[in-house]
Chain A
Amino acid sequence: MLEAFTAWLGKTPLSAFVAGQDWVVPTVQTVHILAISVVVAAVVILHLRVLGVIEQNQPIGVLARRFVAPSAVAIGVLALTGLLMIAGEPNRALFRYVFWIKMALLALALALSGAMLRGLRGNAAWVDAAAPPPPLYKGLAAGLLLVWVAIIVAGRWIGYAEGWPGSPS
């Protein structure tokens, strides 16, 4: 089914456009990286705040209001530019284990981030900078920082990995 999909995708005008000009792929990748910068800045600032490393005079809720919405927009941009990269070379990413590992880690990161934000919203630390977040959230913040590192590493590795046995080349 995946092969039928990539065969179809490879024949679309979108695929021809992305693959057709030399400047399109590096441009799309540049936008992808800039969007990663937005997500990483938000992730680093919020999680280091939860861990008590930076911004200790700022309530978590205030920082969340500044950084959650821009990251959501950036994740939309990442999905879009990611799709363009796949369209340009349909047999590249989709048949590599590391791509699906990245997607699984991303789903995990988004689910855990949502749970963490919902949990913190009901906590005193959301509005009171002097109230330390419960240890559970510190553990989650540390774990999520590592998951995001793994997502970036997996993303970079798509470019170096081989397709799985029997995949179209």
Chain B
Amino acid sequence: MSAVGEVINWLQTTQLSTTIRESDWLFPAIECVHVIAFVTVVGSISVVDLRLMGLASKGRRIDETIESLLPITWIAFAIAAVAGLLLFVSKPITYTQNFFFLGKMLLLLFAAANMGAFHLFVHRSLAGVPAEAPSPLAARASGAASLALWIAIVAFGRWIGFTTLG
């Protein structure tokens, strides 16, 4: 067995995994925390994406829109990630064999790469640009890619629940 496979098998035998798996209420309770946190992530990112695309919040500068919402996005993301990790730990063997779980992780990597590229190559050029100025093509493309990726991440996440029953 591969090293990763051994870690996954071991993870499933841990006390934490067993406790969450065998409890009637822990999984749904953690799921609630995960949902509340990730809808906050997706909602706040969408505001930025739609501003980048020039479709909403047009009265507000792009750099200010990002700056004002980024702390909310990051705090919510940290909570969603911890809650998501706990959900994963409860059934690691099931999830690592699930197409939608693996797909969601890949899409999250794409979203992170898109965000990294935006901050490296686009963000600085937007500093101080007045709200009336049209959104640059690179900013529009980055916003559109981000919005599409996050919608797909939500869809894949919802499909995990339908394909890992029992």
Contact = CB atoms under 8 A, between A and B. Distances in A.
B120 to A, nearest CB: 26
Main secondary structure of the interface of A (DSSP, over half): helix
Contacts of B47: 41, 45
Interface residues of B, number: 27
A37 B159 contact: no
Interface string A26-48: 11011001101111111011001
Interface in B32-68: 32, 35-36, 39-40, 42-44, 46-47, 56-57, 59-60, 68
Interface stretch (A111-119, A125-133, A149-157): A149-157
Interface size class for chain A? 20 to 34
B74 to A, nearest CB: 13
Nearest to B76: A44
Interface string A138-159: 0000000000010011001101
A156 B39 contact: no
Contacts of B161: 26
Nearest to A41: B43
A54 interface: yes
B17 to A, nearest CB: 20
Given A38-B46, A66-B57, A33 B72 contact: no
A71 B123 CA distance: 28
B121 interface: no
A40 B43 contact: yes
B154 A45 contact: no
B28 A45 contact: no
A3 interface: no
Interface of A: 22, 25-27, 29-30, 33-34, 36-42, 44-45, 48, 54-55, 58, 62, 66, 70, 149, 152-153, 156-157, 159-160
Given A26-B162, A66-B56, A157-B28, 12 more contacts: A22-B162, A30-B158, A36-B39, A37-B43, A37-B154, A44-B43, A54-B71, A66-B57, A66-B59, A66-B60, A149-B36, A156-B32
19 contacts: A26-B159, A26-B161, A30-B151, A30-B155, A33-B39, A38-B43, A40-B43, A41-B42, A44-B43, A44-B44, A44-B72, A45-B72, A55-B68, A58-B68, A66-B60, A149-B36, A152-B32, A152-B39, A156-B28
Interface of B: 28, 31-32, 35-36, 39-40, 42-44, 46-47, 56-57, 59-60, 68-69, 71-72, 151, 154-155, 158-159, 161-162
